[in-house]
């Protein structure tokens, strides 16, 4: 909501005008308000202090007045949680009793007093259903067997001969009584193992004859400890006469007698709850007594004990009151802020608008403020700064324009020079090696053939010793290796002009994949092709380009001795097709990247390469007026990118164009 707009519409204009004039006149007459910082801080500080004092006073009164109500509500809630917990436990007893009474063999075992059979049955049920005590009783109220289970220790114990005949719920069951909710009864019994909440149920044979009863119980102390965690309060249980049965409280110095009540007088008064205030452990406590109802029958009283000091620490401020206080305070702050804006904030906002405009490039702006305080000095400084900034910006723009133009010209010249220089260097290397190779290859191949043939003939004679045969085989193998190298040199020297035809580069790549399939599979390399669905037609020599691609695939596989992934993609970019081969191999050191296209340079082990593969590939791509580039990172992999023009009419003019580039770069 726009507060200023609301005031303009709702408040009388003359009132706002008079308030503004009065405020400005007071500010101008008081010497302490000559500083802008004081004008802003003092009024807000005073208002905040007043609002805080009033708020603290009101909140304190409200909190004090609602203490009793909040504390009483907590006691009632804790009592309800406790009573519900007892009811839930008694319902759990009923579920377990139904399971036992209808289990096969239980009624017969009770009728025959078969304690061993009952022991086997009770032990599994007690462990699975987490039952503290389960007992089987004959028709006289004598215990056939009593089983106790300790969940923490995971152990069970068995007793026989216990007498339950005086226990009210057992008497009701054995006398075949019914009440409003059925034939099952519950109560609290003090046994040699402690106080338990028991629920009893009759057991009948197949002829519906009463043969005994079953008891399932939960230890009162364990139950109360669980309920204490839920209710966040201490709990005590009284018998129908008002005497203490058990409690989670530590015994006070005065004894437990101060916790007991007169049950008969409370019952006669018809009260559903009863509050008492007392002092325990030298602290103030309050107890809420309510009837303990088990199966719609009053079995005693439940007391919930809570410290008055505890509830005081958990009280929170009243939300509605806080909302009112902060609404009034905020309204006062907004009103004061509006009045301050008329005298102080408006010129500051004007200066901010001017600074934003200057930052956006509008250097023709001026503040237009004429004041004698700090705002006026700041406005003058802004105007001077804008003027000087405008002058320097104009000069910087002129110099920048000239620098950009010269940088662009230098960058273009440098790019042309580097490209031409690289082509000349590589072409010169290839030409020199080609001339040298063409002169010696023919003369070297014939002697090598003679050496290899003579070695094979001597080995075939068969009258030589083993040492001589090994030596001749070494000579023959060495001559074969030398012949392979010379053959590669001959291929390198006989670089021919490509026979250009329009072909599908995707089909060429698939042919390369077929030819290198065994090599890729043997090297445990995963090939990931990314080829377009449509044909990529271009003008090239299929045999030469296939030679280049096979060489690149072979190098990639050899660069991944432990296996890896080879990604091959084909795309069209502008008027070129781009083939990218990316392996996950060992990578090429940075110092070797500038030499990998040099003839006879290789990093492979001796005897595994001549170092001519990439040189030949470079020459083939250059004759196709293409470009081959490489990027590599040691331990990450290597990427070769081959770019070829989609359309090449003729390659005859290429030397002329190279000469022109050389001439232009020399100039």
Do 162 and 234 sit in the same domain of this protein? yes
37 contact partners, CB below 8 Å, separation of at least 6: none
What integer is the mean pLDDT of 476-495? 68
pLDDT class of 666 with cuts at 50, 70, 90: very low
What was the pLDDT predicted at 658? 33
Do 93 and 14 sit in the same domain of this protein? no
Do 159 and 269 sit in the same domain of this protein? yes
Do 585 and 620 sit in the same domain of this protein? yes
What integer is the mean pLDDT of 260-285? 76
Span 544-577, pLDDT tens digits? 899 899 989 998 999 999 999 999 999 998 889 9
What DSSP character marks residue 130?
T
- Closest CA relative to residue 99, chosen from 80, 134, 125, 73: 125
β-pair type (627-633, 637-645): antiparallel
Q: Is 655's pLDDT higher than 50? A: no
- HSE-up of 323 (CA within 13 Å, CB side)? 3
Q: Is 29's pLDDT higher than 60? A: no
What was the pLDDT predicted at 107? 87
Do 128 and 14 sit in the same domain of this protein? no
Is residue 157, in this structure, part of any structural domain at all?
yes
What was the pLDDT predicted at 524? 93
Is residue 449, in this structure, part of any structural domain at all?
no
Is residue 415, in this structure, part of any structural domain at all?
no
What range does the domain containing 133 cover? Answer: 70-309
Strand, coil or helix: what is 330?
Answer: helix
Of residues 487 and 214, more confidence is placed in 214
Over the Cα atoms of the chain, what is R_g? 51
By mean pLDDT, which of 105-119, 351-365, 542-556, 653-667 is the weakest? 653-667
Task: Rank 107-116, 175-184, 309-318, 340-349 by mean pLDDT and report only the highest.
Answer: 107-116
What was the pLDDT predicted at 167? 87
Task: Rank 92-101, 308-317, 359-368, 477-486 by mean pLDDT and report only the highest.
Answer: 92-101
Is residue 155, in this structure, part of any structural domain at all?
yes
% the chain with pLDDT above 70: 73
Distance of CA 564 to the CA centre of its chain: 31
By mean pLDDT, which of 143-147, 276-280, 304-308, 485-489 is the weakest? 485-489
Is residue 470, in this structure, part of any structural domain at all?
no
Q: Is 104's pLDDT higher than 60? A: yes
Do 258 and 327 sit in the same domain of this protein? no
Is residue 244, in this structure, part of any structural domain at all?
yes
Of residues 503 and 24, more confidence is placed in 503
Q: Is 314's pLDDT higher than 60? A: no
What the block records as the tokens of 29 is: 């007459």
Q: Is the Cα torsion angle 463, 465, 471, 473 positive or negative in sign? A: positive
What was the pLDDT predicted at 389? 82
Of residues 154 and 270, more confidence is placed in 154
What integer is the mean pLDDT of 414-436? 66
> How many angstroms separate the CA atoms of 500 and 497, rounded?
9
Is 286 within 8 Å of 270 (Cβ atoms)? no
- How far apart, in Å, are the Cα atoms of 298 and each of 83, 238, 240, 272? 12, 11, 8, 12
Mean pLDDT of the chain: 77
Is 203 within 8 Å of 110 (Cβ atoms)? yes
By mean pLDDT, which of 148-162, 183-197, 240-254, 327-341 is the weakest? 327-341
Is 283 within 8 Å of 307 (Cβ atoms)? yes
Is 289 within 8 Å of 243 (Cβ atoms)? no
- How far apart, in Å, are the Cα atoms of 258 and each of 238, 242, 261, 452? 12, 11, 8, 121
Is residue 372, in this structure, part of any structural domain at all?
no
Task: Give the angle 387-393-395 at the CA atoms, nearest 5°.
Answer: 110
Three-state SS string across 274-328, please?
A: EEEEEEECCEEEEEEEEEEEECCEEEEEEEEEEEHHHHHHCCCCCHHHHHHHHHH
The span from the first CA to the last CA of the chain, in angstroms, equals 72
For 320, counting Cβ atoms within 10 Å of its Cβ (0-12 exposed, 13-18 middle, 19+ buried), the class is exposed
Do 302 and 172 sit in the same domain of this protein? yes
Q: Is 382's pLDDT higher than 80? A: no
Strand, coil or helix: what is 533?
Answer: coil
Span 85-96, pLDDT tens digits? 888 888 888 888
Of residues 217 and 467, more confidence is placed in 217
Is 249 within 8 Å of 234 (Cβ atoms)? yes
Of residues 92 and 282, more confidence is placed in 92
Q: Is 33's pLDDT higher than 60? A: no
Q: Long-range CB contacts (< 8 A, 24+ apart) of 336-339? A: 336/43, 336/44, 336/47, 338/3, 338/4, 338/7, 339/19, 339/20, 339/23
Point out which residues pair with 529 in neighbouring strands. Answer: 568
Of residues 29 and 404, more confidence is placed in 404
Q: Is 262's pLDDT higher than 90? A: no
> How many angstroms separate the CA atoms of 10 and 205, rounded?
88
What integer is the mean pLDDT of 77-91? 83
Of residues 278 and 340, more confidence is placed in 278
What DSSP string runs through 140-185? TSBEEEEEEEETTTTEEEEE---B-TTSHHHHHHHTT--BTTBS-E
pLDDT class of 662 with cuts at 50, 70, 90: very low
CATH number at residue 186: 3.30.450.20
By mean pLDDT, which of 89-93, 227-231, 488-492 is the weakest? 488-492
Q: Is 22's pLDDT higher than 60? A: no
pLDDT class of 16 with cuts at 50, 70, 90: low
Do 175 and 204 sit in the same domain of this protein? yes
Do 47 and 122 sit in the same domain of this protein? no
Task: Rank 197-201, 253-257, 276-280, 294-298 by mean pLDDT and report only the highest.
Answer: 197-201
Do 160 and 251 sit in the same domain of this protein? yes
Is residue 54, in this structure, part of any structural domain at all?
yes
Span 636-650, pLDDT tens digits? 999 999 999 988 776
Point out which residues pair with 146 in neighbouring strands. Answer: 135, 159
CATH number at residue 631: 3.30.565.10
Is 630 within 8 Å of 590 (Cβ atoms)? no
Count of structural domains within the chain:
3
pLDDT class of 657 with cuts at 50, 70, 90: very low
What the block records as the tokens of 344 is: 């102080």
For 277, counting Cβ atoms within 10 Å of its Cβ (0-12 exposed, 13-18 middle, 19+ buried), the class is exposed
> How many angstroms separate the CA atoms of 496 and 501, rounded?
15
Of residues 391 and 568, more confidence is placed in 568
Q: Is 533's pLDDT higher than 80? A: yes
Task: Rank 45-59, 346-360, 416-430, 466-480 by mean pLDDT and report only the highest.
Answer: 466-480
CA trace torsion 226, 228, 231, 232 (10° rounding): -130
- How far apart, in Å, are the Cα atoms of 413 and each of 150, 417, 425, 628? 93, 6, 18, 22
What H or E segment, with its residue span, contains residue 467?
Answer: helix 466-493
What was the pLDDT predicted at 665? 31
What was the pLDDT predicted at 538? 92
Do 137 and 57 sit in the same domain of this protein? no
Three-state SS string across 419-451, please?
A: HHHHHHHHHHHHHHHHHHHHHHHHHHHHHHHHH
What the block records as the tokens of 432 is: 């020199």
Do 181 and 45 sit in the same domain of this protein? no
What was the pLDDT predicted at 572? 92
pLDDT class of 184 with cuts at 50, 70, 90: confident
């Amino acid at each position: 909501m726009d507060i200023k707009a609301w005031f303009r519409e709702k408040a009388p204009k003359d009132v706002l005008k008079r308030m503004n004039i009065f405020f400005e006149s007071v500010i101008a007459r008081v010497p302490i308000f000559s500083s802008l910082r004081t004008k802003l801080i003092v009024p807000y500080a005073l208002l905040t202090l007043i609002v805080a004092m009033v708020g603290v006073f009101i909140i304190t009164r409200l909190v004090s007045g609602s203490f009793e109500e909040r504390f009483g509500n907590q006691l009632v809630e804790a009592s309800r949680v406790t009573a519900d917990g007892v009811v839930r436990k008694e319902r759990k007893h009923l579920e377990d009793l139904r399971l036992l009474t209808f289990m096969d063999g239980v009624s017969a075992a009770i009728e025959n007093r078969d304690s061993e059979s009952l022991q086997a049955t009770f032990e599994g049920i007690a462990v699975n259903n987490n039952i503290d005590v389960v007992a089987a009783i004959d028709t006289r109220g004598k215990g056939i067997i009593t089983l106790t289970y300790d969940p923490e220790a995971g152990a069970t114990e068995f007793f026989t001969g216990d007498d339950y005949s005086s226990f009210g719920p057992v008497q009701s069951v054995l006398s075949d009584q019914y009440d409003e909710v059925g034939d099952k009864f519950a109560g609290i019994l003090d046994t040699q193992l402690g106080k338990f909440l028991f629920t009893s149920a009759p057991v009948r044979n197949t002829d519906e004859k009463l043969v005994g009863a079953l008891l399932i119980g939960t230890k009162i102390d364990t139950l109360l400890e669980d309920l204490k965690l839920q209710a966040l309060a201490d709990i005590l249980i009284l018998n129908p006469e008002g005497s203490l049965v058990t409690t989670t409280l530590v015994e006070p110095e005065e004894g437990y007698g101060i916790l007991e009540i007169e049950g008969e007088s409370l019952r006669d008064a018809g009260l559903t709850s009863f509050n008492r205030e007392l002092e325990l452990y030298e602290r103030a406590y309050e107890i809420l007594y309510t009837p303990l109802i088990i199966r719609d029958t009053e079995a005693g009283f439940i007391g919930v004990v809570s410290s008055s000091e505890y509830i005081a620490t958990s009280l929170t401020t009243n939300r509605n009151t806080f909302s009112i206080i902060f609404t009034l305070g905020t309204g006062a702050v907004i009103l004061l802020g509006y009045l301050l804006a008329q005298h102080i904030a408006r010129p500051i906002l004007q200066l901010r608008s001017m600074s934003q405009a200057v930052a956006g490039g509008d250097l023709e702006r001026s503040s237009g403020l004429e004041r004698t305080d700090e705002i006026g000095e700041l406005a003058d400084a802004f105007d001077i700064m804008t003027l000087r900034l405008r002058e320097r910006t104009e000069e910087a723009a002129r110099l920048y324009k000239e620098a950009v133009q010269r940088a662009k010209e230098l960058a273009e010249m440098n790019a042309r020079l580097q490209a031409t220089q690289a082509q000349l260097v590589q072409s010169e290397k290839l030409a020199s090696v080609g001339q040298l190779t063409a002169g010696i290859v023919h003369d070297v191949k014939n002697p090598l053939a003679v050496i290899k043939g003579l070695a094979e003939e001597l080995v075939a004679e068969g009258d030589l010793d083993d040492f001589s045969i090994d030596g001749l085989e070494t000579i023959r193998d060495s001559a074969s290796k030398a012949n392979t190298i010379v053959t590669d040199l001959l291929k390198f020297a006989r670089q021919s002009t490509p026979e250009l035809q329009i072909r599908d580069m995707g089909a060429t790549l698939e042919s390369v994949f077929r030819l290198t399939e065994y090599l890729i599979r043997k090297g445990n390399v995963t090939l990931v092709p990314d080829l377009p669905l449509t044909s990529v037609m271009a003008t090239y020599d299929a045999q030469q380009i296939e030679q280049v691609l096979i060489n690149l695939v072979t190098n990639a596989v050899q660069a991944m001795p432990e296996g890896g992934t080879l990604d091959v993609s084909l795309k069209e970019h502008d008027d070129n097709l781009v083939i990218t081969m990316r392996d996950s191999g060992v990578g090429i050191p940075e110092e070797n990247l500038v030499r990998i296209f040099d003839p006879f340079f290789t990093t492979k082990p001796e005897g595994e390469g001549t170092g001519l593969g990439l040189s030949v590939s470079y020459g083939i791509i250059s004759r196709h007026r293409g470009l081959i580039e490489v990027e590599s990172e040691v331990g990450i992999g290597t990427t070769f990118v081959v770019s070829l023009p989609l359309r090449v009419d003729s390659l005859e003019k290429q030397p002329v164009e190279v000469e022109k580039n050389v001439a232009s770069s020399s100039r």
